[in-house]
Chain A
Amino acid sequence: MTQDLRYSALKKTPFHSRTSLASRTNKYYNWNGYTVPTEYSTTELEYTAARNGTSVMDLTPMGKYEIIGDHAHQFVDYLVTRDLSKMKDNTVAYIIWCNEDGKVIDDGTIFKFSSTKFMLCCAVKIYNWLNDSAYGFDVTITDVTDTIAALAIQGPTSCSTLKKFGATDLETLKPFEMREYKIDGFDILISRTGFTGDLGYELWTDPKNAETTWDNIEIAGKELKLRPFGMYALEMTRIEAGFIQTNTDFMAAEDSLRPTRMRSPYEIGMGWLVHLNKNSYFVGKKALKKEKEENSTERCLVGLDIDGDKPAHGSVIYNSKKEDIGIVTAALWSPIMKKNIALASLKRPYGIKIKENIFAEIYHPEELEYRKIWARCKVVKRQFFNPERRNKVPADLYE
């Protein structure tokens, strides 16, 4: 039955018939106006698939924008803080972009097909921002969110699963490269990208091909510990990988009601993506240059290794004098590392110069009472989990 999109509040993705069949719990959430599963069976087992076998996630709701035109390359380089002037065809780059005040709007990935064709993927809706920013550039921007079906295929056996599915020689694809395949008569783009911090790929195809693709991947991964995975499990893996989530770890500049909540790239650990010395101008450059020169960055986003085993969800972070120095933005007991980890936004110099003697106040719920835990934290690298297999070429195969 086709959905009447005129009045339906939430849309279904082209994989819905399959994801709903796979769901044993009927738990969905609203992502960019689509319903997608939060959990198919048990989050723990779904998480395990991503770290042990192959996990498959419906990525379709992710914002996808095609940027085509003679100025596509210049425009993209103008839009983002990273220097993309040397970006090669058929590669992908991780990017952030800011507003004029040098405050981060979102992070995402940019796919370069040629100097006249790009695709930008991100969590929030930015069609309007892209169009406004494109003033004076010869580019056409199309929102392809609905017209490209996307899957994330992640985990140690993901390369084998996709090879079996028909992606010949996939193991030679390097991280942040992409390749076009023709499988069962359909064009399928596969990129070695992902949000789990592990070996993994993302697959992009025509929505008409969605159901067949899902079915065939499921068959291909049958002996490779494949399991569909939902948002809860993705959240676990991305925290371990140290990836940031817009409006979770920082407020998107365009969404912040309170201007003081806006963050510069330096405040969310994204300084490495700001290339102040790139030849062309980019949005926010003046403000960022000023911030850098004046050394006026106020906060930082760091990884914390926390004592004990109770996740520090939403905990306030204190120094040894019990002064409030920040907040936990995401927390997790990491099953693979057996560590209590968190991402936290701290007021400098905490997190940068002062990395020890800081504490999280954890409220642990125990049958309608809270146990207050004062847990010692250590500032560590935000990328908690980074296995060798993630960047290995050729990728690991299970045959």
Chain B
Amino acid sequence: MPKNTHDVIVVGAGHNGLTAASYMAKAGLDVVVLEKNDWIGGAAVSRELYPGWKYSNCSYVCSLLRPEIMRDLELYKYGLQIIPYEGSATMMKNGDYYTHYHDHDMTINSIRRHSHKDAEAYERYSRDVLRQCKIIKPLLKMTPPDLTSFKPKDLFGALEFAKHFAAKDELGGLGEKEIYDTIRFYTMSIRDYLEEYFESEITKAHLAGSAIIGTALGPCSPGSAYVLLHHYMGEVDGSVGSWGYARGGMGSITQAMMGCLKDHGGEVKPSSEVTNVITKNGKAIGVATQNGDEYYAKKIVSNLDVKRTFLKITEEKDLPDDFVRSVKNFKIRGSSGKLNIALDGLPDFPCIPEGDPGGGGDMHFTETIEEMEGAYDDWKRGEWSRNPYVDMCIPSKSDPTMAEPGKHYMSVFIQYVPFNLANGGWNEERKQEFGRHIVDCIAEFSPNFKDLINHYEVRTPLELENEVGLTEGNIFQGELTMDQLMFNRPVPGYAQYRTPLKNMYICSSSTHPGGGVMGAPGANAAREVLLDMNVPQKGNYY
């Protein structure tokens, strides 16, 4: 038997790879995780690029990570703690502002300042969105059934799936009307959806933000309403739709997962980029890495996105042609950028009164859906948005471990930023120009902002692809539209974490239920691997 033989090889030490690896190691398997970078964490990392400041370099907030996973893997024991947000605000050019709070009634009071009708519509809106969240929640943990299959597992799976849409007791009985609502919700644009509730531009703009973050859709694009749901279906301790920070940055999540993995005998090897999957008689038997090492295992689980998995590290000859074509057609378009900023103090945002908890979480300055759509129009032309939608937050306001007291770390997520930049593509100069542009946009709302900057890191989609390995820098590892969700994710016929190549699996965000630091794809994939290996599984997740 060749050396370097394990039960399972996981390719990529991102949060889904580590989740899958930890579950399998907990079940008693010998697992090794191979990571290309010399650090681990994929897009859930905390790195100190400027002395004294920790950045959540890629993903920056947490809500979707399933609590069952945190519980099963005992992530708190390995240092993970989630700190809930206090609120969120949109600043307005006229000096006013719009806020949401942790407390529902405070939010209602705040919306009422802008529209009495909207304040009350918000109750109805919250109920309707929460209802959708309740429908989708149990689906996240399920392996999507193959709707074309007649295997008992798939038939029962399809019934189980359907049950949640027509659930009687859990939701108090969804009627025909609510099922229609669900179908509409999954296919509508966020603008159309919000128009059914709200009249004030600022309310709509504030809410629509969640529908465009990370996607290459605009607020008027059909399907964007679902993206909003994707950002709402998480929770912080039962508070559905709430977001929080991982104490110590997003890297705490993957560090804690690594802690669990190691405690159960697993191993992570950084600086081990997998270059190709080794096959024998049409079966995956191992992988080869950049540095010339070879690893062999009974099962290979890829945490790379579906394009990288099948177009880069697997050879086309080992795969069916139609599968390869579907993978090539998989939509995975970069649309976001990011700035991580080390600040010498807390910037003033005069729009938000001092002490208002609305300023404690995410802040924005897009006032209308039209502005947002305009930002998207720039992206379609291959330009970064001149008037971008930003999701900015200052985690160090809540988290004492990101910078020393009085100093602050600010994370600015920017929508939209193209992967294929028009007129010659990205280079260092244009990257810096983009960074300066964003700093200027923020400075319009914060007079002392520029003076406080010690250092900042600019992230473009190209960078995200090169560094993290996300194709085109798409943060979800594939667009979250109905044609690429559930039994269609990543491609129809292969939504059950197995691939056409025997013994090869995929556990990345390219699979159901999709992107975000959720861990569900990893845990679901681990379940399928364990099933195939006849290893009993236990835990709150399963």
Contacts and interface: CB of A to CB of B under 8 A. Distances in A.
Task: Tell whether A pairs with B.
Answer: yes
Given A41-B357, A224-B400, A398-B400, A48 B83 contact: yes
B404 A51 contact: no
Q: Which of A223, A333, A367, A398 has the most CB of B within 10 A?
A: A223
Contact of A157 (B71, B76, B400, B540): B400
A52 B399 contact: yes
For the complex of A and B, list the 10 residue pairs with the smallest distance between their C-beta atoms, beginning with the closest. A223-B405, A338-B70, A335-B237, A338-B71, A338-B67, A337-B76, A42-B102, A223-B406, A398-B400, A225-B400
B398 interface: yes
A281 B253 CA distance: 53
A52 B400 contact: yes
A335 B82 contact: yes
Chain B interface helix/strand/loop/mixed = loop
A333 B76 contact: no
Contacts of B81: 51-52, 336
Contacts of B71: 337-339
B238 A333 contact: yes
B540 A53 contact: no
Interface in B237-254: 237-239, 247
A156 B400 contact: yes
Given A223-B405, A338-B71, A338-B75, A45 B102 contact: yes
Contact of A336 (B76, B172, B239, B406): B76
Given A156-B400, A224-B405, A45 B86 contact: yes
Contacts of B237: 44, 333, 335, 338
B61 to A, nearest CB: 15
B433 to A, nearest CB: 34
Given A44-B102, A52-B81, A307 B540 contact: yes
B222 interface: no
Nearest to A44: B84
Contact of B405 (A308, A333, A366, A399): A399
Interface string B374-407: 0000000000000000000000001111001110
B132 to A, nearest CB: 17
Nearest to B540: A307
Given A44-B239, A52-B247, A367 B400 contact: no
Interface of B: 67, 70-71, 75-76, 81-84, 86, 102-103, 169, 172, 236-239, 247, 357, 398-401, 404-406, 540
20 contacts: A42-B102, A42-B103, A44-B84, A44-B236, A45-B86, A48-B84, A52-B81, A52-B247, A52-B399, A52-B400, A223-B405, A224-B400, A224-B405, A307-B540, A308-B540, A333-B237, A335-B236, A338-B67, A338-B75, A367-B172
A309 interface: yes
B76 A225 contact: no
Contacts of A369: 172
Nearest to B70: A338
Nearest to B399: A52
A209 interface: no
Nearest to B244: A48
Interface residues of A, number: 29
Interface string A321-339: 0000000000001011111
A29 B98 CA distance: 33
Interface in A38-83: 41-42, 44-45, 48, 51-53
Nearest to A367: B172
A42 to B, nearest CB: 5
A264 interface: no
A223 B398 CA distance: 9
Nearest to A225: B400
B404 A398 contact: yes
B238 A309 contact: yes
A154 interface: no
A160 interface: yes
Interface string A265-309: 000000000000000000000000000000000000000000111
Contacts of A160: 405
Contacts of B404: 398-399
A309 B404 CA distance: 36
Contacts of B236: 44, 335
Contacts of A157: 400
Given A45-B84, A335-B237, A336-B81, A309 B405 contact: no
A157 B172 CA distance: 45
Nearest to A310: B238
B454 to A, nearest CB: 17
Contacts of A309: 67, 238
A391 B406 CA distance: 27
Contacts of B238: 309, 333
A399 B403 CA distance: 9
Contacts of A225: 398-400
Nearest to A157: B400
A398 B236 CA distance: 26
Interface in A330-378: 333, 335-339, 366-367, 369, 371
Nearest to A307: B540
Contacts of B357: 41
Contacts of B398: 48, 52, 225
Nearest to A339: B71
Contacts of A44: 84, 102, 236-237, 239
B235 to A, nearest CB: 10
Nearest to B65: A338
B167 to A, nearest CB: 12
A370 to B, nearest CB: 12
Contacts of B86: 45
A341 to B, nearest CB: 11
Nearest to B102: A42
Contacts of B172: 366-367, 369
Contacts of A338: 67, 70-71, 75-76, 237
A333 B238 CA distance: 9
Contacts of B239: 44
Contacts of A307: 540
Nearest to A53: B400
Interface string A138-160: 00000000000000000011001
A67 B102 CA distance: 46
Nearest to A387: B76
A160 B400 CA distance: 11
Contacts of B405: 160, 223-224, 398-399
Nearest to A337: B76
A224 B401 CA distance: 10
Nearest to A366: B172
Nearest to A385: B76
B239 to A, nearest CB: 7
A369 B86 CA distance: 31
A235 B67 CA distance: 22
B395 to A, nearest CB: 11
A394 B540 CA distance: 38
Q: Which of A42, A338, A369, A371 has the most CB of B within 10 A?
A: A338
A371 B238 CA distance: 16
B479 to A, nearest CB: 30
A202 B67 CA distance: 33
A62 B383 CA distance: 64
Contacts of A308: 540
Given A52-B398, A338-B237, A371-B169, 10 more contacts: A45-B84, A45-B86, A156-B400, A157-B400, A225-B399, A335-B82, A338-B70, A398-B405, A399-B404, A399-B405
B241 to A, nearest CB: 14
A248 to B, nearest CB: 22
Q: Which of B71, B75, B172 has the most CB of A within 10 A?
A: B71
A335 B237 CA distance: 6
A367 B134 CA distance: 14
A366 B238 CA distance: 14
A213 B239 CA distance: 35
A314 to B, nearest CB: 18
A53 B397 CA distance: 11
A201 B80 CA distance: 24
